[in-house]
Amino acid sequence: MMLTLVHSNTAIVSVVLVLIGGIVVGMTQQATAITASVELARRLRDAGLGWEPTAGDRFHIPDRGLDDRVWSIADMVIEGRDDILGRRELAFNGSVEWALDSIFEHEVVWLPTEGQLRTLLDDQFIALTRDDDDGYACVVRIDEVPTTFVAGTAADAYATGLLATLE
């Protein structure tokens, strides 16, 4: 699958991507704690975790000077802009007109969300608890043995547990 980079001329939505086949991808400025960290997401990819891009998925484009940006897939472009009276509005655009560049799917790193990671753990997932000192503890069944993985965010705790099941 190839991703096509496009540009919007507004301050709110500065760049969007279009997936071949009609799914548009928008960009946000920073990752949130609901996705796995870029480092863990890379390790999951390298361990063989597959990805079928769908609306709502987030990803990172490494090695292109975009390290502080997270991209998200959406069904259509929504542009933040000011109307003629200076009021802020959201404009729903059904097509993208400014294609600038392309990138292949294998060149990006999928940043799975907490929910996606929990789903991928399937019946190996036992529990997630809040650890006041270290963040979150995810308990995963590995070879029928409950094993705990602790991380600063729930997503990274899930990702660390999932990584252990893939290695």
Which stretches within the chain are classed as H helix?
38-46, 114-121, 154-166
Instruction: Specify the pLDDT at position 92.
Output: 65
pLDDT at residue 87, as a whole number: 85
pTM: 0.69
Please report which confidence band the pLDDT of residue 13 belongs to, taking 50, 70 and 90 as the band edges. Answer: very low
Cβ atoms of 73 and 25 closer than 8 Å: yes
Give dist(CA 80, CA 31) in Å, integer.
20
- Looking at residue 122, the DSSP 8-state letter turns out to be G
Confidence of residue 102 (pLDDT cuts 50, 70, 90): low
* Single-letter code of the amino acid located at 77: V
Beta carbons within 8 Å of 10's beta carbon, 6+ residues apart: 79, 80, 81
pLDDT in tens, 41-70: 999 999 999 998 888 888 888 887 777 788
**CA separation for the pair 163, 154 (Å, rounded):** 14
Selection from 102, 109, 76, 105 nearest residue 4 by Cα: 102
Q: For residue 81, what are its two tokens?
A: 């802009």
In this prediction, residue 5 carries a pLDDT of: 36
Residues 6+ apart with CB under 8 A from 106: none
Q: What is the pLDDT of residue 49?
A: 94
Q: For 90, list phi and psi in degrees, rounded to 5.
A: -110, 120
- Residues 149-167 have a mean pLDDT of 94
